[in-house]
Amino acid sequence: MAGEVIEGTASESRVVVVAEMTAGSGGAGSGDAGHGGVAILLTLAAVVAASIGFMAAMTSSSANSSWQSALRSEVKRSAAAMEDVRYVYGAELPLAVRIIQARTVQAEMLAAAQGQSGPTKAALLLEANVQGQIVTALDSTAGLATNTDYALSSGGLDLGKALAAERAQNPQLVSLDPDGLEAAGDKLAHKALLLTAALIPTSGAAFLAVLAQPFKRRRTLLLRIGGLALAGGAVMGLAVQVLV
């Protein structure tokens, strides 16, 4: 009888050990699967975040380059405009004024000499001749006064037209568009900001993957939510890159 009891007890012990090993094996398999899901989600989140971050960095760099180009273009355009203004008003205009003045005085002297005689007439004609020589000497160096396109009916000069003609000699400088470059930089900066915003759901997916690690009962739910967040971040980044 005692032998039968001992044998029965040994048989029950073996059954219990086998059952515990089976249960342990099943739990380990489920745990390994859960850990694998966490690792996959973390890996995907890292890849997507790195891709979005790279695109945002490149876009931000392009925006910065566009702003710098706008600044250089503005400086270049302003310098060219100032040089044209200096040439017309600082170099050409004084000579033109002196020529117009000499012509006016010459005409007045000749008109006054018509009603005079003797030494007075000779003095007036002499002064008219002097003014004529001044005009002849300056005509070759002052295109503003000798170009009839700039002459006004009142006897003055159309300086606005002269300045426009001077600027037209360098069309590549006139056509500079720093405002357009600045606007392009602003658009790229806005795009970089939107790409950065796409990192929020991607980071949330990584956080949910880490959070799912200790919570075995909620692990599947957290991983699913994390997957949705990751997909949302990836779609957002792709949409910004293509559409904006």
| Phi then psi dihedrals of residue 151, to 5 deg | -80, 135
Q: Is 168 helix (H, G, I), strand (E, B) or coil?
A: coil
Which tens digit of pLDDT belongs to each residue from 82-122?
999 999 999 888 888 888 888 889 989 999 888 888 888 89
pTM attached to this predicted model: 0.66
Q: Which residues contact 71 (CB under 8 A, 6 or more apart)?
A: 178
- Top pLDDT among 15 and 107 is at 107
Q: Which residues contact 128 (CB under 8 A, 6 or more apart)?
A: 105, 106, 109, 110, 113
Mean pLDDT score of the chain: 83
What are the structure tokens assigned to 36, written together? Answer: 């694998």
5 pLDDT above the threshold of 60: no
pLDDT tens digit sequence for 156-185: 888 899 999 999 999 999 899 999 999 999
pLDDT given for residue 16 in this prediction: 36
Q: Among residues of the chain, what percentage have pLDDT more than 70?
A: 86
Which residues lie below 8 Å from residue 43, measured CB to CB, with a gap of 6+? none
Distance CA 83, CA 21 (A): 92
Q: How many CB atoms lie within 10 A of CB 55?
A: 19
